[in-house]
């Protein structure tokens, strides 16, 4: 017996689990959803299927994405590398004439699975016929790295790597949808009551905000059902005993302080792993990053984790737990931005590299949301509570933010100027700067205007007059602010 096999056997014995040779790997990846599931403490709704998955495997209580928006997050996820390292940090970049190529030896994980003999597939919502599920990668990738959108086409006994893409929080759309609410009633018998919703302290209990959050929680219920459907199919096809299932979302709830931002509302996600070789009924409270999925999956499949991969096998017997996680937000659509953060068990440090811009910069995608429109309306009317005014509508932001997460889990009290925490501030500032240097953060150099124009040309290629006019105004404003050093 070689050393690696012996190690696996020993780890398995210690964990009380059994490993299998070349297991199937299934990633269930959900759009726009925070950890609002019963097993994570959500009280308003019930999510029995995700709860059961957690009971049968390991639930990670403190999992975080390295980018709180779809395409940078998914670019990092599929490579196991920080999006800032591989140059995929700007949202929906590389879509125009100027392309982005992965550096050095870096390749997407499906390439490695395919080289090892796995059948690779990506499906889910919108993946009818031969259409693949959501990829949303910001770099050029080989289309042949996916065999199909479903594991059904594999050869007999061939192991598979499957990504199941679920619509998640996007079901609720940009505002209240009667069609969505009717679908929920038909599926579950009743909608979540807006009055039962518990909001973060900085959002007003306005009927529009409450209805949106209730619709979002119904998205969580629908997601839970879809997870149950995936598990039911695996059971029906007698695949459960040889399949490891990962459940995760691509960032937090799409809201004014969630998606696109580095507060926990935008970066904290659910992560559940279940299957042979995974400790059963375990809850891990250490800090982990979503780029770890690639390393864990390769390792469980018996495939070597390449040295260039920055994610870690957090299930390994010799894994050294992190004492910090990092995240970055850069340009989202037409809106220029440059934010970085480091989070330890107790503190969160955020560096605003563009402090002269407001928190809610003009952004066509975000400004189409009824909740953002309502917040702007309340702000204009002067009826927002002081906390919401300070956090959402200050004309500029501090260069540094520091939060004591133990005493301030909603990150509302910036302690960066607290003299009692001066040493903590200096330490966190240095830790972030060291990470930027160590990982080769490509966001330290501003995006070239040629690249920006190349991507914006794609944005301006479709849409009605009102949409295009708004985009053009926002693009010109961003260029003006950039020229002024804002």
| Sheet of 160-166, strands arranged across | 119-124, 160-166, 24-30, 243-249, 268-274, 58-64, 282-289
For 277-314, letters b (16+ CB in 10 Å) and e give bbbeebebeebbbbbbbbbbbbbbbbbebeebbbbbbb
Average pLDDT, the chain: 95
Contact 234/240 with Cβ under 8 angstroms? yes
Choice between 16 and 203, residue whose per-residue pLDDT is larger: 203
pLDDT of 7 strictly over 70: no
pLDDT class for 129, splitting at 50, 70, 90?
confident
Compute the distance between CA of residue 400 and CA of residue 341 in angstroms, rounded to an integer.
10
Closest Cα partner for 17 from 241, 228, 312, 297? 241
Tell me, what's the pLDDT at 21?
82
Question: How far, in Å, CA of 379 to CA of 368, rounded?
Answer: 17
The answer to whether the CB of 266 falls within 8 A of the CB of 44 is no
User: Number of helices and strands (H, E) in the chain?
Assistant: 14, 11
Q: Which domains does the chain have, with CATH numbers?
A: 3-317 (3.40.720.10), 329-446 (no CATH)
Tell me what the mean pLDDT of segment 41-68 comes to.
98
Give the model's pLDDT for residue 401: 98
Average pLDDT over residues 308-331: 97
Count of beta carbons in the 10 Å neighbourhood of residue 206: 17
pLDDT at 276 over 60: yes
pLDDT for residue 153:
95
The reported pLDDT for the residue numbered 4 is 38
Q: What is the pLDDT of residue 126?
A: 56
pLDDT of residue 106: 98
Mean pLDDT of all residues in 180-191: 98
pLDDT in tens, 225-240: 999 999 999 999 999 9
Please give the structure tokens belonging to residue 320. Answer: 């050294």
What burial class does residue 460 get, using C-beta atoms within 10 Å of its C-beta: 0-12 exposed, 13-18 middle, 19+ buried? middle
**Quick check: 291 pLDDT over 50?**
yes
* pLDDT tens figures, 407-448: 999 999 999 999 999 999 999 999 999 999 999 999 999 999
Helical ranges in 175-326 per DSSP H: 178-188, 207-236, 264-267, 292-300
Looking at residue 20, its pLDDT comes to 74
Is residue 18 very low, low, confident or very high in pLDDT (cuts 50, 70, 90)? low
């Amino acid at each position: 017996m070689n050393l690696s096999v012996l190690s696996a056997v020993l780890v398995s014995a210690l964990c009380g689990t059994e490993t299998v040779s070349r297991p199937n790997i299934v990633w269930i990846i959900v759009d726009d959803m925070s950890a609002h599931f019963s097993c994570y403490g959500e009280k308003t709704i019930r999510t029995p299927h995700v709860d059961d998955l957690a009971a049968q495997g390991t639930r990670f209580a403190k999992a975080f994405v390295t980018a709180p928006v779809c395409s940078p997050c998914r670019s990092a996820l599929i490579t196991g590398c920080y999006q800032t390292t591989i140059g995929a940090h700007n949202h929906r970049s590389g879509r125009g004439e100027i392309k982005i190529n992965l550096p050095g030896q870096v390749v997407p994980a499906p390439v490695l699975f395919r080289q090892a003999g796995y059948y690779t597939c990506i499906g889910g919502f919108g993946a009818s016929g031969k259409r693949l599920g959501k990829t949303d990668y910001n770099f050029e990738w080989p289309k042949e790295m996916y065999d199909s959108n479903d594991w059904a086409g594999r050869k007999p006994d061939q192991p598979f790597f499957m990504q199941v893409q679920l619509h998640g929080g996007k079901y609720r759309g940009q505002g209240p949808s009667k069609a969505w609410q009717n679908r929920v009633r038909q599926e579950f018998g009743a909608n979540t009551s807006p009055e039962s919703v518990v909001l973060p302290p900085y959002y007003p209990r306005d009927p529009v905000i409450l209805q949106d959050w209730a619709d979002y929680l119904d998205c969580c219920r629908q997601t839970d059902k879809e997870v149950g459907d995936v598990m039911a199919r695996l059971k029906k096809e007698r695949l459960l005993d040889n399949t490891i299932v990962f459940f995760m979302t691509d960032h937090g709830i799409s809201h004014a302080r969630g998606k696109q931002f580095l507060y926990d509302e935008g970066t904290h996600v659910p992560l559940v792993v279940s299957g042979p070789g995974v400790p059963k009924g375990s809850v891990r409270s250490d800090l982990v990053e979503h780029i770890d999925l690639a390393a864990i999956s390769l390792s469980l499949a018996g495939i070597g984790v390449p040295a260039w991969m920055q994610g870690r096998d957090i299930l390994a017997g010799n894994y050294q737990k992190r004492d910090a996680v990092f995240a970055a937000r850069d340009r989202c659509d037409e809106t220029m931005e440059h934010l970085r953060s480091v989070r330890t068990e107790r503190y969160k440090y955020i560096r605003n590299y563009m402090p002269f811009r407001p928190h809610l910069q003009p952004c066509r995608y975000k400004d189409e949301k009824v909740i953002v429109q309502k917040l702007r309306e309340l702000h204009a009317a002067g009826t927002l509570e002081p906390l919401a005014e300070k956090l959402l509508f200050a004309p500029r932001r501090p260069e540094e933010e520091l939060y004591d997460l133990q005493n301030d889990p909603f990150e509302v009290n910036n302690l960066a100027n607290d003299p009692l925490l001066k040493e903590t501030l200096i330490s966190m500032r240095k830790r972030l700067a060291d990470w930027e240097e160590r990982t080769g953060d490509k966001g330290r150099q501003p995006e070239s205007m040629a690249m920006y124009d190349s991507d914006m040309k794609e944005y301006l290629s479709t849409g009605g007059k009102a949409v295009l006019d708004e985009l053009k105004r926002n693009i010109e404003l961003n260029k003006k602010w950039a020229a002024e050093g804002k």
